[in-house]
């Protein structure tokens, strides 16, 4: 397990080429088993969750080959429908393979991925979608989940909550089903849009992505292609938050400006200046942020896209911990996503959590301390808090951070932040 050491209280200035999107690429990797050729992805983030998904793809019969940040997946051989239980425990997103395995083989077996530190995270809506498409779904007392169907048939799928993963699984199961599927109450996240762009390039017939109603007309076959993974909006938002908290100036190249409008509105509300970066041809190719002053206190609620992303709630807690005044943050997506507040309190933050709301009484400066990463985005939030704090901070259990950030120390050092990995003694 690695630790991170940070010397804080210095402004951050520099430029980062943001990594490819973790939450964008994971469903796309699942889609690779839907075709019998080779899918090549470029700008793939080399992170633990991707390495884990590659391991699962190989265990079901794919041949995967890396070339720098490009990843080719050959699914021309026999594909097996069962995901090894050991892999499910390592990564919840293994559930995303179910829809694609069902579409490819007519059978998908995995295991209840279980809750994590941000909530119970059930998969009932995923299984609802498979049932609506005609699959027989069963769960045994050990948590083994099986879905099977001689042939999937297009249908109406209605989600009472716009679940990102369930929408992705419904799409992956519907693209080879017989007939038309309508997904009502679909998630509208940019990761849904990029998945549909990939599937369409593979030969799928999809329309409506980005809205809450997506229509899929099943096709006979899908084909290999090449696809560039978009920039990671959450990693970009994390580094923007770090600079908003510590002060300074950052340019995030490939930061997806068009899909970060709510985050940009919030950063401006706390007093940052935020502008798009344009290329020589006039295309927007990134995001630039300046922060000269102490952040202002605000009220904020997370929500499904286009609301403020729940994945940036913890980094915003870190920023608001030193805001002028009292801020309120409401977590409207997961039921237990304030665990990092306890770690921020070790650094002197004054945060009161009650249910899904937190009140933050801003302090001029936090103080360096020894803190523990409780989950992926919480760990990144602690790094952001440490960069704005006085003194040295040690962050333990950084394996969480490595799941979603290629190298948070490398990126923050590009901003001239004093941060490094410390191997545990």
Please tell me whether residue 408 binds ligand EPZ under the rule CB under 6 A: no
Out of 19, 21, 23, 327, point to the residue binding ligand EPZ (CB under 6 A).
Answer: 23
313 or 393, CB closer to ligand EPZ?
Answer: 313
* Residues 374, 377, 383, 387, Cα dihedral to 10°: -140
**Which 231-270 residues touch ligand EPZ, going by CB under 6 A?**
234
The Cα-based distances of 37 to 69, 79, 148, 177, 218 in angstroms read 20, 12, 23, 19, 19
Going through 208-333 in order, the beta strands assigned E by DSSP cover 213-217, 226-228, 248-253, 273-278, 284-291, 299-301, 326-330
DSSP letter, residue 44: -
Please tell me whether residue 169 binds ligand EPZ under the rule CB under 6 A: no
267 or 308, CB closer to ligand EPZ?
Answer: 308
- Name the phi and psi angles at 391, rounded to 5: 95, -165
224-254 burial: b if 16+ Cβ within 10 Å, else e:
bbebebbbbbbbbbbbbbbbbbbbbbbbbbb
Binding mask 364-403 vs ligand EPZ (x if CB under 6 A, - otherwise)? ------------xx--------------------------
308 or 369, CB closer to ligand EPZ?
Answer: 308
Q: Among 5, 116, 357, 390, which one carries the catalytic annotation?
A: 116
- Say if CB 286 and CB 254 are below 8 A apart: yes
Out of 19, 35, 163, 314, point to the residue binding ligand EPZ (CB under 6 A).
Answer: 163
**Which 25-54 residues touch ligand EPZ, going by CB under 6 A?**
26
Binding mask 179-218 vs ligand EPZ (x if CB under 6 A, - otherwise)? ----------------------------------------
**Residue 228 Cα to chain centre, angstroms:** 17
155 or 314, CB closer to ligand EPZ?
Answer: 314
Please tell me whether residue 310 binds ligand EPZ under the rule CB under 6 A: yes
**Known catalytic membership, residue 390:** no
Nearest to 408 by CA among 315, 331, 337: 315
Question: Would you tell me how many other CB atoms lie within 10 Å of the CB of residue 211?
Answer: 11
Please tell me whether residue 404 binds ligand EPZ under the rule CB under 6 A: yes
Out of 60, 166, 242, 415, point to the residue binding ligand EPZ (CB under 6 A).
Answer: 166
H or E element that contains 56: helix 48-59
Please tell me whether residue 311 binds ligand EPZ under the rule CB under 6 A: yes
- Say if CB 16 and CB 411 are below 8 A apart: yes
Please tell me whether residue 14 binds ligand EPZ under the rule CB under 6 A: no
**Which 84-143 residues touch ligand EPZ, going by CB under 6 A?**
93, 119-126
Residues that bind ligand EPZ (CB under 6 A): 22-23, 26, 93, 119-126, 161, 163-166, 234, 310-311, 333-334, 376-377, 404
- Catalytic machinery residues: 116
């Amino acid at each position: 397990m690695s630790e991170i050491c940070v010397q804080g209280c210095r402004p951050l200035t520099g430029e980062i080429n943001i990594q490819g999107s973790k939450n964008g690429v994971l469903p796309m990797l699942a889609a690779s088993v839907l075709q019998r050729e080779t899918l090549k992805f470029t700008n793939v983030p080399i992170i633990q969750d991707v390495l884990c998904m590659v391991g699962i793809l190989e265990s079901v019969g794919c041949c995967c080959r890396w070339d720098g940040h490009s990843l080719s997946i050959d699914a021309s051989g026999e594909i097996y429908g069962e995901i090894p239980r050991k892999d499910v425990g390592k990564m919840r997103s293994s559930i995303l393979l179910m829809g694609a395995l069902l579409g490819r083989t007519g059978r998908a077996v995995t295991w209840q991925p279980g809750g994590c530190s941000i909530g119970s995270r059930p998969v009932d809506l995923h299984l609802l979608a498979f049932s609506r498409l005609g699959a027989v779904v069963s769960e045994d007392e050990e948590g083994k989940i099986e879905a099977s169907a001689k042939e999937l048939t297009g249908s109406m799928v209605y989600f009472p909550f716009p679940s990102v993963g369930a929408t992705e699984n419904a799409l992956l199961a519907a693209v080879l089903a017989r007939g038309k599927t309508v997904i009502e109450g679909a998630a509208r996240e940019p990761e849904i849009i990029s998945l549909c762009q990939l599937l369409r390039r593979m030969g799928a017939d999809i329309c409506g992505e980005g809205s809450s109603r997506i229509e899929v007309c099943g096709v006979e076959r899908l084909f290999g292609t090449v696809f560039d993974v978009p920039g990671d909006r959450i990693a970009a938002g994390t580094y923007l938050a770090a600079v908003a908290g510590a002060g300074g100036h950052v340019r995030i190249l490939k930061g997806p400006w068009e899909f970060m409008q709510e985050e940009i509105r919030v950063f401006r509300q706390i007093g940052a200046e935020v502008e798009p970066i344009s290329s020589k041809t006039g295309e927007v190719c990134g995001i630039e942020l300046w922060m000269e002053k102490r952040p202002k206190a605000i009220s904020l609620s997370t929500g499904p896209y286009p609301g403020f992303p729940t994945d940036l709630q913890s980094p915003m807690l870190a920023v608001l911990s030193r805001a002028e005044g009292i801020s309120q943050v409401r977590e409207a997506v997961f039921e237990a996503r304030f665990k990092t507040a306890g770690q921020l309190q070790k650094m002197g933050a004054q945060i009161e959590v009650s249910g899904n709301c937190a009140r933050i009484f801003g302090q001029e400066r936090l103080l360096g301390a020894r803190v523990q990463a409780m989950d992926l985005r919480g760990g990144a939030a602690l790094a952001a808090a440490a960069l704005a704090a006085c003194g040295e901070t040690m962050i333990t259990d950084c394996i969480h951070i490595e799941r979603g950030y290629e190298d948070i120390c490398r990126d923050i050092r590009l901003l001239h932040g004093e941060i490094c990995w410390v191997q545990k003694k």
